[in-house]
Amino acid sequence: MQVVFIEWAFGFLLATLGLFVPIILIASLGGKTRRLAIALIVGSNVMGCIVAALCFWRETTVRLDFSAFSPFPLALGIDRLSAFFLLLICTVAVPVAIFSIEYFDLHYAEKRRNWVWTFFSLFLASMILVVTASTGFAFLIGWELMTLLTAGLILMEGDSTERRHSVFLYLLMMHAGAAAVIGSFLLFLPFSHGLDFASLRSAGSVMPQGIRTMVFLLAFLGFGAKAGMIPLHIWLPRAHPIAPSPVSALMSGVMLKTAVYGFVRFVFDFLGGGPSWWSGYVVLAVGAVTGLLGILYAIAENDLKRLLAYSSVENIGIIFLGLGVSLVLLAHQAPLWAGLALVGALLHAFNHALFKSLLFLGAGAISDSTHTVNLEDLGGLQRRMPVTGLSLLVACCSIAGLPLFNGFVGEWIIFRSLLAGSVLSDTRAQIVLPLTVGILALIGGLAAACFVKVFGVAFLGRPRSAAAEDAQEAPPAMRVGLSLLAAACLGIGIFPGLFLRPLVSLVQTLVPGAGVPLETVSIARILPIAAAIVLGAAMAAGLLKRRERIARTWACGLPGLTTRMQYTSTVFSKPIRFVFSSVYKPNRKVDRLPPDQPYFPASVTYRSVRTTSYEKSIYRPFVELFLSAARGLRRMQTGNIQVYLLYIFLTLVLLLAFLRFQK
């Protein structure tokens, strides 16, 4: 009974998002039908949440087979891992869709809105397809659609040369990644009956070591490119900020997680762990570097959306660090701890989806009301946009990893699994894993500094521009979207137990012998108590009698303070940029005008540009190599038909010779 209901509901979800909504929207141009379509999107995603929750909390597996209607095996299924990621997509999609109602109305002309919503709906459907696919073909269709639809959504926002260049880079990197993913699927083929996940799983354990290593490396490359691992991240800070804010929210919050899903599916589910002892260390090291560099780049940014994009790179780094720890522990036969690390990584993926989409939506609300996302032009927004400000404060606390907010729980679990490295018998792990605590702590500290800057500069103090001075609170539906996400962040932050229990069961299906780690129980018990103590103490202190008077800020006895005397975003990050200057290698330039009066200049301009560039140092040599190879191949293309006939003849001879000598 229940299974039938879930099957129907899931089918309805896919059909609505992928079929009904686009048909309704394309067929009509009126506002009323659009409202119906939006209601369908929100409603079906709520239904998706229920379906995912049912499959995630209770062990229910669902399978839908469409192979009869397609030329290749096309089947969908929800097991616990899929249910977890389906829950992630639908939970974020509901508030984002509610937020978008007013956002798209404000940003697009009547005619274009229907197209934006069509793409939005199809984009959601493609992500659902990716995480619920149970055959390689279904997975790859969703994977490809996801990329193309977001490229469409980015181009719908505007059409400049720079934007096209960024979209081209995005598509290029995504397809390179997809090629690696396809490659790792194909490597399974000689050992499995087909590309459905069940036979891939059984093939994964019988494949020779070399093939397993190849599959692992290709999956790491392919999904790493999609997730934005350094140095494959260069598309991310370019493509994410230029999309419309709700789409940025889905791209950063949700789409990056499909890559995490893919990696977990391949490495933990199909291969049953890394192919050899070093694989975990590789993932751990790349994750640590990505996390550290990502947050260092983020803190130097002044454009809020670019900053958030870099911070996504950082969080992906933390997630992969957790996955790496899990692989290391798995390789050393410590399944209990490996399971703990995997729980931490997956939980952090979910948490990041919540707070990062909240932050991007908040950036959308800010740009809506002030028409800028440059931190240097913002300030004092908390008094003008109290609800937006409060939700963003929750998001900033969460992403900074503070306890009682959700970001802390995942990081804490990863910390504890790192500590477990000291009980292993292997010397390498005994030293590397506990020391990684230091790296994760540094990343966490920098993230806290970064988001003090974001909230402090944008929302507190005096407005730095006329636009910020006149900012208005976001319209009601946007506020609903923001508050829903903020409530979810606080909910998981204070009561993680509800979520951790099914997550532990999920991990038990992926890591044999994982068991229930005591840590997940203890954190679930302590956080509500800590929250109660903090709340009680704050309320008790709040009862103290006090009188309040508004008085001017201390200005060293000068007549008054101006906006220009406030600390800016650039100068806030200056000490950190100074200490880590080897990462940025900044090129500073100070221009004083007029030049003949250096001590009494009329105007001073200062510029500081990061000179380290992945494009120049890593990608350029590859491009050069590729181009010179292409130039070499051009010599073969003479344009003479006899030569081409000769090529055909030679190929034939070679093939015949090959067949003859093969026996």
At residue 336, the 3 state secondary structure works out as: helix
| DSSP E strand boundaries for 111-193 | none
- For every residue of 57-126, DSSP letters joined together read HTT--EEEE-GGGSSS--EEEE-HHHHHHHHHHHHHHHHHHHHHHHHHHHHS-HHHHHHHHHHHHHHHHH
Q: How far is the CB of 19 from other proteins (least distance, A)?
A: 47
- Kindly list the distances between the CA atom of residue 537 and the CA atoms of 143, 494, 541, 544, 578, in Å, as whole numbers in the listed order: 50, 16, 6, 11, 39
Stretch that binds other proteins, among 164-172, 202-210, 219-227, 431-439 (CB under 8 A): 431-439
Is residue 3 a contact residue for other proteins (CB under 8 A)? no
In the DSSP assignment, the letter for residue 473 is: P
Binding of other proteins by 441 (CB under 8 A): yes
| Contact assessment for residue 246 and residue 283, using Cβ atoms and an 8 Å cutoff | no
**Residue whose CB is less far from other proteins, 295 or 503:** 295
529 in contact with other proteins (CB under 8 A): yes
Residue (183 or 491) nearer to other proteins, CB? 491
Exactly one of 109, 538, 633, 641 binds other proteins (CB under 8 A); that residue is 538
Sign of CA dihedral 340, 341, 342, 347: positive
Position among 425, 427, 640, 642 found at the interface with other proteins (CB under 8 A) = 427
Cβ–Cβ under 8 Å, residues 171 and 257: no
Contact between 446 and other proteins per CB under 8 A = yes
What is the C-alpha to C-alpha distance for residues 373 and 367, in angstroms, rounded to an integer? 6
Taking CB under 8 A as the rule, does residue 466 contact other proteins?
no
- Interface with other proteins (CB under 8 A), residue from 29, 189, 571, 629: 571
Binding status of residue 401 toward other proteins by CB under 8 A: yes
* Among 73, 183, 194, 445, interactor with other proteins by CB under 8 A: 445
Q: How far is the CB of 415 from other proteins (least distance, A)?
A: 5
Q: Residue 255 gets which letter from DSSP?
A: I
C-alpha 578: how far from chain center: 28
Backbone angles phi, psi at 87, to 5 degrees: -60, -45
Q: Which stretch binds other proteins (CB under 8 A): 36-44, 90-98, 334-342, 427-435?
A: 427-435
Residue choice 1, 4, 109, 541 for contact with other proteins (CB under 8 A) = 541
Q: Which of 422, 472, 587, 597 binds other proteins (CB under 8 A)?
A: 422
| 486 and 391 Cβ atoms separated by less than 8 Å | yes
Q: How far is the CB of 614 from other proteins (least distance, A)?
A: 24
Task: Count other C-beta atoms under 10 Å from residue 171's C-beta.
Answer: 16
* Smaller CB separation from other proteins, 61 or 382: 382
Q: Is 526 in the site for other proteins (CB under 8 A)?
A: yes
Q: Pull the structure tokens for residue 330.
A: 């798995």
Q: What minimum distance in Å lies between the beta carbon of 661 and other proteins?
A: 57
Under rule CB under 8 A, residue 586 binds other proteins = no
For residue 591, the surrounding DSSP H or E stretch is strand 586-593
Q: Is residue 64 within the footprint of other proteins (CB under 8 A)?
A: no
Give the binding range for other proteins (CB under 8 A) out of 169-177, 283-291, 329-337, 424-432.
Answer: 424-432
Only one residue has tokens 């130039």, namely 631
Q: How many residues does the structure list for the chain?
A: 663
CA dist list (Å): 659 to 651, 655, 662: 12, 6, 5
| Nearer CB in complex with other proteins: 501/574 | 574
534 binds other proteins (CB under 8 A): yes
CA distance 291 to 399: 13
The answer to whether residue 402 forms part of the interface with other proteins (CB under 8 A) is: yes
CB of 45 to other proteins, least distance (A): 33
Among 442, 467, 477, 490, binds other proteins (CB under 8 A): 442
Task: Establish if 581 lies at the interface with other proteins (CB under 8 A).
Answer: no
**For residue 594, is the peptide bond before it cis, meaning its omega torsion is within 30 degrees of 0?**
yes
Question: Does 439 help bind other proteins (rule: CB under 8 A)?
Answer: yes
Residue type, 512: P
Of the candidate spans 273-281, 537-545, 629-637, 643-651, the one that interacts with other proteins by CB under 8 A turns out to be: 537-545
- Cα–Cα distance for residue pair 321/73, rounded to 1 Å: 35
Site for other proteins in 203-242 (CB under 8 A): none
Name the burial class of residue 22, with classes exposed (0-12), middle (13-18) and buried (19+) by CB atoms within 10 angstroms of its CB: buried
Under rule CB under 8 A, residue 609 binds other proteins: no
Minimum Å distance from CB 365 to other proteins?
A: 16
Per-residue contact track with other proteins, 136 to 175, x per CB under 8 A?
----------------------------------------
Q: Which pair of tokens denotes residue 219?
A: 């999956």
Residue 3 CB, nearest distance to other proteins (Å)?
39
Strand partners, 588: 608
**For other proteins, how many residues bind (rule: CB under 8 A)?**
81
3-state secondary structure of 384: helix
- Which window, 171-179, 218-226, 310-318, 404-412, contacts other proteins (CB under 8 A)? 404-412
Rounded distance between C-alpha atoms, residue 440 and residue 415, angstroms: 8
* Residues between 493 and 522 that touch other proteins (CB under 8 A): 522
Cα(468)–Cα(459) distance, integer angstroms = 10
Segment contacting other proteins (CB under 8 A): 23-31, 77-85, 479-487, 570-578?
A: 570-578
- 618 part of the interface to other proteins, by CB under 8 A: no
Chain residues 546-565 in contact with other proteins, contact rule CB under 8 A? 546-555, 561, 565
Number of Cβ within 10 Å of residue 661's Cβ equals: 7
Residue 94, token pair as written in the block: 């509901």
- Looking up tokens 């009547």, which residue turns up? 110
Closest separation in Å from C-beta 346 to other proteins = 19
Q: Which listed residue (119, 261, 408, 499) binds other proteins by CB under 8 A?
A: 408
- For the purposes of burial, counting CB atoms within 10 Å of the CB of 93, is it exposed (0-12), middle (13-18) or buried (19 or more)? buried
Closest contact distance (angstroms) between CB of 106 and other proteins is 25
Tell me the closest approach of the beta carbon of residue 491 to other proteins, in angstroms.
18
Binding piece for other proteins, criterion CB under 8 A, among 140-148, 252-260, 303-311, 444-452: 444-452
Give the separation between CA 133 and CA 156, rounded to whole angstroms: 28
Q: Does 584 bind other proteins (CB under 8 A)?
A: no
**Helix or strand (DSSP H, E) at 245:** helix 245-250
User: Which range binds other proteins by CB under 8 A, 68-76, 95-103, 454-462, 599-607?
Assistant: 454-462
- Asked if residue 588 binds other proteins (CB under 8 A), the reply is no
Footprint (CB under 8 A) of other proteins, residues 359-398: 380, 382-383, 386, 389, 393, 397
- DSSP category for residue 603: E
Using the rule CB under 8 A, which residue among 280, 444, 493, 502 binds other proteins? 444
Q: Which is nearer to other proteins, 512 or 536 (CB)?
A: 536
